[in-house]
Every structure is written in C-alpha cells, then in structure tokens.
Amino acid sequence: MNVLVLGAGQLARMMALAVKPLNINIRAFDVSSGNVVDPLTSNIIFNDLAQGIEFADFITAEFEHIDHQTLATCQASGKLRPASQAIKVGGDRRLEKSLLTQCAVANAQHKIIETKADFDQALNQLSFPLILKSALAGYDGKGQWRLKDKTTAEEVWLDIKAFFDGGEQGVKHAVIAEQMVPFDREVSLVGVRDSQGNTLVYPLTQNHHSKGVLSVSIATHVNEILQTQAQQVFDSIAKELDYVGVLAIEFFQVGEQLLVNEIAPRVHNSGHWTQQGADTCQFENHLRAVCDLPLGSTELIRPTAMINILGEDSVPNEILNVASTKLHWYGKSKRAGRKMGHINVSGKSEAQLASRLMLLANLLPEAAFDELKPYIAGYQNSLSS
C-alpha cells in the first residue's frame, strides 16, 4: 500500500517508521519545496504533487495549515483521508469554534474579532483575563496575545492590526478572543475512527505546556468520569466530520468538567507516548484507519510519559541508563524552541514512572528543560496526596 502524507516533518517520519512492518510505504509532500520526498532521508522522489497523488492509494496529512488549492486537488482524487473539510477545521479557529457550537461541546467563552469594533465589543462582553489567538496559522503559542485588563488594550490592538496587515494578502484574517480558563490541568484525548464509523480512544493524557508549547505528556489510568466525557466529545466531533484517521482533542479540566481548547485533525504530539505505552501506537492506528485496515487496540499497557526536546540537538547519554527510557530524534537542524525529538519513559506503576521521570529531570540540563523538575515534583506529590 502506498500513502502520500501532506507535510514532511517528524509526524510523517514517525508514521513511516511505524507502518513499514505493515508494508505501507510513506512518501511525504514537502509543502515548502513542492517536492515529494522520502520522510526518513528527505531524498526527492518526485518533484510535483501530481506524481505523488498518482503514486498513492491514499493521501493523508500531518498538519492542518495546508493551502486550500492543494487540499482541493487531493480531495478531487478521492484518496484524501480525513477529508479536506476536517483538515480545514483544524487550520482555522473560526471553523473550529463553529464546529464546537454545532456539536454542543463546552469550550471557553469567546468572540471572533475582525475589526476594531469587534475588539472593543469583546473587551466589554468577556471577562478578563483574555487570551487572543490568530484564527489562521497560529499554533504552539504563536500569534497569541494576553490581556490582563484594559490598560494595554490599545497597544495589543495595534500589534494585532500589524499582524493582520503582515499576513497573506486577500485572506480575511481574524483573532479569537477567549476568556482565560482557570484550569486545574490540561489534558488531551487521542482517538481514531475508521471509514465504517468505528472509534477507539486512548486514555486521557495530562499535558504541561511551557511558553505555549507542549513540554511533557503523562498517560496513566484515568478518572472514568473524565474519560467518558472526553470520549463523548470525540465521538460527536468525529461523527460530525465523518472523520477517518487519528484526531486529537485538547481540553482544559476544571473540576470534573472538560472544556475543549482545540482539535487537531492528525496524529498529535501528546500521543507520542503511545509508541511504548499503548498496544498500538497512534501512527500505526492512523494509517490502519486511512488504509481501511482493522483498528488496533488503544489500551494502555503501562503508565508512560513523553518529554519534548525543544531547541537541543543532544542530551546526556546517561538518560538511557534510566530503565525503559527511549530516545527519538527527528533528524532536524537545531533552532531555538524547535521540536527536535522526544523521550518516552514507562513504569510498571505510576509511582515508578514518576521516580523515573525525576531521574530524567535530574540528568537533563535545567536551562533547556527549565520547568521539568517542578512539574514532575508536582506530579509525584499528586500521587501521594
């Protein structure tokens, strides 16, 4: 089976690694060069999209910010899974919010801002503090502003206006103003749906973000009430989109309630732990769904966590002395804050996982993993309380 992935980053690479034993060959469309490449070596296979489409039995995507012409061409081939509409929803917060409303799914109070009048209205209608997020092409904390109160409103508006003006011409830009949610935890659900409408979800994962970017995900046995709530949200969104493949949903947990933060129509960073903590990893399950193969079990086989390596191209070799630790590099060149690789670690129990995480936190350089130690200490405390 041959699959073309739109996007040639680490997610395409991890899909390729996961499904080679199934005899699924992955080629990746590099949207910046327009070439179709081998996702492991970056060697050019074809120099245009048309040949990539011709090669593929199915087409999927590893990210949602893909230009609409490319999506339309792939959709027209009848091979694209999930469908272009689902991919677009992930790339435009306006579409995402209207999907959540359509599915009656709880999320933060918000308002869409396209003009200064909308901005002023949002400031009067919503309660501070606010977070403002660009509707298009904003991710990992980029294209975001925070407002504690009205004192810096004018300054922030000028910045947003400059952001609109500097964006792609001929496109209607917007930001979404959202009330800050006083969450207890951030969690996410990764699940998979096949073309027959069958769904399976992984256990909820608790996530820590640092400067708007995911730094740690921990998957353990979870609260059944929250898991059921998250699964209901997954099922209704996936059904509404007639979704095929892996879909991730990020939530804010407030007490026993989950509010959706955002959805990602693809395999997700908070699901990398599934490579060693779940019966079938998210990358394999995505391709199983896309290629009409039976879905694999999403059961947790042992508590597992993932630590992102951001902006570093080496870590101390000693971390591999910590039992059940695995290192995954993406083969990218070093750049500040860039996702360069990740570390997965498991334990037979949550307590064992927590102590292995602490061993890792003590070995990793504090400058690059600055919030890791206090976060793991907090996780350890939560287990003993």
Site residues (vs ligand AMP, CB under 6 A): 108, 131, 133, 139, 141, 178, 180-181, 186, 209, 212, 250, 261-262
- Cβ proximity of 342 and 280 under 8 Å: no
Question: What minimum distance in Å lies between the beta carbon of 308 and ligand AMP?
Answer: 13
Question: What minimum distance in Å lies between the beta carbon of 263 and ligand AMP?
Answer: 10
* Beta carbons within 8 Å of 204's beta carbon, 6+ residues apart: 187, 188, 189, 219, 222, 223, 226, 227, 230, 251
Question: What minimum distance in Å lies between the beta carbon of 140 and ligand AMP?
Answer: 6
Half-sphere exposure (Cβ direction) of 217: Cα atoms closer than 13 Å: 26
Q: 58 or 234: whose CB is closer to ligand AMP?
A: 234
**Residue carrying the six token digits 């469908």:** 83
Q: 140 or 240: whose CB is closer to ligand AMP?
A: 140
Question: What minimum distance in Å lies between the beta carbon of 246 and ligand AMP?
Answer: 18
Question: What minimum distance in Å lies between the beta carbon of 41 and ligand AMP?
Answer: 31
Q: 47 or 101: whose CB is closer to ligand AMP?
A: 101
- 3-class DSSP string for 311-373: CCCCCCHHHHHCCCEEEEECCCCCCCCCEEEEEEEECCCHHHHHHHHHHHHHHCCCCCCCCHH
Q: 53 or 310: whose CB is closer to ligand AMP?
A: 310
Q: Is 183 left (phi over 0), alpha (psi -120 to 50) or beta?
A: beta
Q: 248 or 361: whose CB is closer to ligand AMP?
A: 248
Question: What minimum distance in Å lies between the beta carbon of 224 and ligand AMP?
Answer: 24
- Sequence letter at residue 205: T
Q: Decide: helix, strand or coil at residue 106.
A: coil
Q: 28 or 147: whose CB is closer to ligand AMP?
A: 147
Which of these, 206, 74, 62, 26, lies nearest to 139 by C-alpha position? 62
